[in-house]
Amino acid sequence: MNILQTNVSVVNNFLFKFKELFSNKQFSMFQSFIYAMLRDYKRLNLSSLSKQLSSDYQALQYFFSDSDWSNDNLNIKRINILKKQRTTGFSKDGVLAIPKGRLRT
């Protein structure tokens, strides 16, 4: 199945929380990029991703290097989403678990 024909509602619902941070064209690229990353790659890079997308390599590179969306705003939004979720948020009664492992020297 073509990666652009993939439509998973849980992924779409999550991605639409970020829509306000992008123009329509940028959001389309963002959404396509996330779906393309879900594929199994031997080497994940822009070249292999661009082969899965309807955009060429230069358009994908532009999205990351020259496009005007804010990485900081994206990260703030991501953190706020995680804080609000029951399974990823935190509370005053939370617990930090650090497994005991073997140190390798």
Do the domain assignments include residue 76?
yes
Domain range for 40 is 3-84
Domain contains 103 = no
Q: Which of 38, 27, 96, 89 is nearest to 63 (CA)?
A: 27
On whether residue 29 sits in a domain, the answer given is yes
- The sign of the dihedral angle between the CA atoms of 97, 15, 68, 29 is positive
| pLDDT, tens digit (0-9, with 9 covering 90-100), for 22-67 | 999 899 889 888 888 887 777 888 888 888 777 788 988 888 888 8
Classify residue 99: in a domain, yes or no: no
For the stretch 73-103, pLDDT in tens is 999 999 898 888 877 777 777 766 677 766 5
Q: pTM for this structure? A: 0.71
Integer CA distances (angstroms), 75 to 1, 79, 81, 82, in order? 31, 6, 10, 11
Domain count along the chain? 1
**What is the rounded distance in angstroms from the CA atom of residue 23 to the CA atom of residue 30?**
10
In a domain, 105, yes or no: no
